[in-house]
Amino acid sequence: MPNMDGLTAAEVIRKESIWCKDTPMIVLTANTSREKAAECYAKGILEVLLKPVKRQVLLTSVEHWIKKADKA
């Protein structure tokens, strides 16, 4: 994104969007540091997947969080 990174976008979505406050967010990143992952979780991201992510891992993650959101 030209004007903001993914973490900033997640923060804006969580704070400013009345439609997406509870939408599960999954991040795909090449950054493997624990600090960056902790920052993601602090911004409301539910899961951090490392690139390159395998298709089945991504699908399993999406399915998990959709089921969890449906129960809430």
What residues contact 33, with CB distance under 8 A and at least 6 apart? none
Give the CATH number of domain 6-71.
3.40.50.2300
* Sequence spans of domains, the chain: 6-71
| Residue owning tokens 């009345």 | 18
Residue range 16-33, pLDDT digits in tens:
887 777 788 999 988 878
Q: Which residue has the higher pLDDT, 1 or 2?
A: 2
Question: What distance in Å separates the CA atoms of residue 51 and residue 28, rounded to the nearest whole number?
Answer: 6
Digit-coded pLDDT (tens) for 37-71? 999 998 889 999 999 999 999 999 999 998 988 88
pLDDT of residue 1: 55
Does pTM top 0.85 for this prediction?
no
